[in-house]
């Protein structure tokens, strides 16, 4: 008896409009509302709505036996509310069945876990409370942006109260080990880890309609046969996908929806295995081993590393500059600026600057509006330049109003925060030490 863990990620970024350098200091609207609306509505129509309907039908048909897990980024949630409220409604319907688990993640699909523990913490909390508001459940398991994970990130997640996290079953981490077991963090054994079975997952996400693939056409029977052929001792099959696999990566015409329907029905009928959500797997199984992950891994590309977002100098400069102004943004007390800064953190912006496609024909994870990584970089930096000026001005005007004791307030602010929070988390402690490093870079 194996647990089959279906997990789907839903994310859409706020794409930037073409923002020229001569707009710097003049125009402060950064986002391409038209494209964002168009793409969200298109994605809802082609993927989210039909896929949700399929899942809802299956839950109604099979009762509690069909179970899935979701994580939805905050930027996607905002765009649902703005552009596709019916999609949000259908996710809420799914939530009400009790067969769907919602995971926590960063609010804006941010890579803050690699740079700023403080911001990471803030975003995770913001996301969790939004999930609770919308879906009536408090997330118990965590997924980081792009399944990025390391020992250090695991510790932060644990400190935030999560005991289960999902990540990539990267070969260089697992070695000879199978992803089909529950693991835990070696540095923090109380944090359980579900490892994505990339073979089984990518068979659906990337290869399903590939006619040159030796296994094409992939039928539900064949796929189930692969699961049945796995060793009896193996306990879980983690099939983690971008939700857009249904209807977007794989068009409806490929038969992906019918495949899913048949797969679930057959699996439930055979009754050899059971569908489980992420937290159910974590609660049911015992970790077989601890995993050491000193360097961050992700679910991207062959390398399963960070190079899709922070691989070249352009990405690094943009990322560093963005976080250099963190303190100013936070001190500005301006919620508009804070929200925009958050949206600028979305990992897609950095993915668009990737030069990896020069070598290995990398697939972009969301629709890329730019002609080249250089266009993406220049455009982002133009936006960031304007944004930085606004943040500086906000800081300056705040200083002016406080007038002379400006210096004093800053020092007192520091002391009060540390006083106010005697049970200071490890994360915030790290923040203060990490900051100067970021600045000197």
Partner 1 sequence: MKALMFGWEFPPHISGGLGTACYGLTKALMKHDVKIIFVVPKAWGDEETQNIRLVNASDVLIDIKDKLFREMISKLSYLEIDSTLIPYADDEEYFRITEQLSKGVKADQLSIKTHKYTFQGGYGKNLMEEVKRYALVGAEVARQHQFDIIHSHDWLTYMAGAEAKRISGKPLVVHMHATEFDRSGENVNQLVYDIERAGMEAADMVVAVSNLTRNVVINRYGISPEKVITVHNGVEPATPSQFLEAGKKVDEKIVTFLGRITFQKGPEYFIEAAHKVLKRDPNVRFVMAGSGDLLPKMIRRVASLGIATKFHFTGFLKGDDVDKMFGMSDVYVMPSVSEPFGISPLEAMRSNVPVIISKQSGVAEVLKYAIKIDFWDIDAMADAIYGLLHYKSLPEMFKECGKEEVESIKWGQAGKKVKDIYENLLKKTPNIS
Asked whether 68 and 6 are in contact (CB, 8 A), the reply is yes
* Integer angstrom CA distances of residue 47 from 12, 40, 53, 103, 253: 13, 10, 10, 20, 12
Q: Which candidate, 141, 106, 138, places its Cα nearest to that of 121?
A: 106
Under the binding rule (CB under 8 A), the answer on residue 46 touching partner 1 is no
Instruction: Using the rule CB under 8 A, give the single segment among 91-99, 180-188, 372-380, 426-434 that binds partner 1.
Output: 372-380
Interface with partner 1 in residues 405-424 (CB under 8 A) = none
Residue 29 CB, nearest approach to partner 1 (Å)? 17
Nearer to partner 1, 204 or 376 (CB): 376
Q: Applying CB under 8 A, which of residues 174, 252, 362, 378 lies at the interface with partner 1?
A: 378
Q: Which residues pair with 168 in a beta bridge?
A: 196
Nearer to partner 1, 36 or 315 (CB): 315
Interface with partner 1 in residues 212-271 (CB under 8 A) = none
Nearer to partner 1, 205 or 353 (CB): 353
Nearer to partner 1, 316 or 435 (CB): 316
* Cα 214 to chain centroid, rounded: 32
Q: Applying CB under 8 A, which of residues 314, 383, 394, 427 lies at the interface with partner 1?
A: 314
Nearer to partner 1, 81 or 313 (CB): 313
Interface with partner 1 in residues 130-159 (CB under 8 A) = none
Under the binding rule (CB under 8 A), the answer on residue 361 touching partner 1 is no
Q: Applying CB under 8 A, which of residues 93, 301, 317, 338 lies at the interface with partner 1?
A: 317
Q: Applying CB under 8 A, which of residues 377, 388, 394, 427 lies at the interface with partner 1?
A: 377
Q: Applying CB under 8 A, which of residues 231, 286, 358, 401 lies at the interface with partner 1?
A: 358
Asked whether 155 and 188 are in contact (CB, 8 A), the reply is yes
* Pairwise CA distance, residues 90 & 78, whole Å: 15
Under the binding rule (CB under 8 A), the answer on residue 313 touching partner 1 is yes
Return all residues near 108 (Cβ < 8 A) that are at least 6 apart: 73, 74, 75, 123, 342, 343, 345, 346
Q: Out of 146, 168, 235, 248, which one is annotated catalytic? A: 146
Number of residues that bind partner 1 (CB under 8 A): 21
* Cα 356 to chain centroid, rounded: 21
86 is catalytic: no
* Pairwise CA distance, residues 225 & 228, whole Å: 5
Under the binding rule (CB under 8 A), the answer on residue 103 touching partner 1 is no
Q: Applying CB under 8 A, which of residues 374, 406, 407, 426 lies at the interface with partner 1?
A: 374
Q: Which candidate, 360, 377, 132, places its Cα nearest to that of 368?
A: 377
Under the binding rule (CB under 8 A), the answer on residue 57 touching partner 1 is no
Asked whether 237 and 219 are in contact (CB, 8 A), the reply is no
Q: Which candidate, 127, 52, 33, places its Cα nearest to that of 96?
A: 52
Under the binding rule (CB under 8 A), the answer on residue 210 touching partner 1 is no
Under the binding rule (CB under 8 A), the answer on residue 383 touching partner 1 is no
Exposure b/e, 138-161, CB count within 10 A at least 16 = b = ebbbbbbbbbbbbbbbbbbbbbbe
Nearer to partner 1, 254 or 324 (CB): 324
Under the binding rule (CB under 8 A), the answer on residue 80 touching partner 1 is no
Under the binding rule (CB under 8 A), the answer on residue 275 touching partner 1 is no
Strands 3-10 and 274-275: parallel
Return all residues near 147 (Cβ < 8 A) that are at least 6 apart: 166, 167, 168, 196, 240, 297, 298, 299
Q: CA torsion 205→209→212→213, rounded to 10°? A: 50
Under the binding rule (CB under 8 A), the answer on residue 381 touching partner 1 is yes
Under the binding rule (CB under 8 A), the answer on residue 176 touching partner 1 is no
Interface with partner 1 in residues 11-40 (CB under 8 A) = 20-22, 24
Question: How many helices (H) and strands (E) are present in the chain, helices listed first?
Answer: 20, 10
Nearer to partner 1, 176 or 358 (CB): 358
Residues marked active site are found at 146
- Residues interacting with partner 1, by CB under 8 A? 20-22, 24, 312-314, 316-317, 355, 358, 371-372, 374-375, 377-379, 381-382, 385
């Amino acid at each position: 008896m194996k647990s089959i863990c279906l997990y789907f990620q839903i994310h859409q970024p706020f794409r930037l409009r073409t923002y020229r350098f001569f707009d710097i200091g003049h125009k402060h609207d950064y986002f391409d509302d038209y494209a964002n609306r168009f793409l969200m509505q298109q994605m809802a129509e082609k993927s989210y709505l039909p896929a949700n309907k399929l899942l809802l039908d299956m839950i109604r048909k099979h009762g509690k036996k069909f179970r899935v897990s979701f994580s939805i980024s905050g930027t996607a949630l905002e765009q649902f509310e703005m552009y596709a409220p019916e999609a949000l409604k259908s996710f809420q319907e799914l939530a009400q069945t009790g067969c769907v688990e919602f995971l926590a993640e960063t609010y804006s699909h941010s890579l803050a876990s690699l740079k700023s523990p403080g911001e990471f913490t803030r975003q995770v909390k913001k996301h969790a409370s939004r999930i609770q508001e919308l879906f009536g459940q408090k997330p118990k398991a965590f997924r980081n942006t792009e399944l990025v994970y390391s020992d250090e990130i695991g510790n932060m997640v644990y400190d935030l109260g999560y005991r289960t996290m999902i990540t990539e079953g990267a070969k260089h981490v697992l070695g000879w080990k199978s992803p089909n077991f529950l693991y835990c963090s070696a540095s923090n054994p109380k944090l359980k880890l579900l490892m994505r079975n990339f073979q089984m997952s990518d068979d659906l996400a990337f290869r399903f309609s590939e006619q040159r693939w030796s296994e094409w056409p992939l039928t539900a029977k064949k796929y189930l046969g692969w699961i049945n052929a796995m060793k009896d001792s193996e306990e879980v099959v983690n099939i983690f996908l971008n939700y857009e696999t249904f209807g977007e990566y794989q068009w409806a015409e490929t038969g992906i929806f019918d495949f899913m329907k048949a797969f679930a029905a057959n699996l439930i009928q055979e009754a050899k295995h059971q569908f489980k959500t992420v937290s159910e797997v974590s609660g049911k199984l015992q970790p077989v081993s601890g995993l050491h992950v000193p360097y961050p891994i992700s679910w991207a590309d062959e390398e399963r590393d960070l190079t899709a977002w922070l691989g070249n100098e352009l990405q690094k400069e943009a990322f560093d500059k963005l976080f250099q102004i963190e303190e100013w943004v936070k001190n500005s007390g301006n919620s508009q600026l804070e929200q925009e800064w958050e949206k600028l953190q979305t990992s897609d912006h950095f993915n668009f600057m990737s030069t990896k496609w020069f070598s290995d024909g990398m697939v972009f994870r969301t629709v890329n509006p730019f002609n080249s990584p250089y266009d993406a970089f220049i455009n982002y930096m133009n936006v960031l330049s304007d944004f930085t000026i606004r943040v500086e001005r906000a800081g300056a005007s705040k200083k002016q109003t406080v007038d002379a004791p400006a210096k004093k307030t800053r020092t007192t602010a520091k002391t009060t925060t540390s006083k106010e929070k005697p049970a200071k988390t490890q994360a915030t402690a790290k923040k203060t030490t990490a900051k100067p490093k970021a600045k000197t870079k």
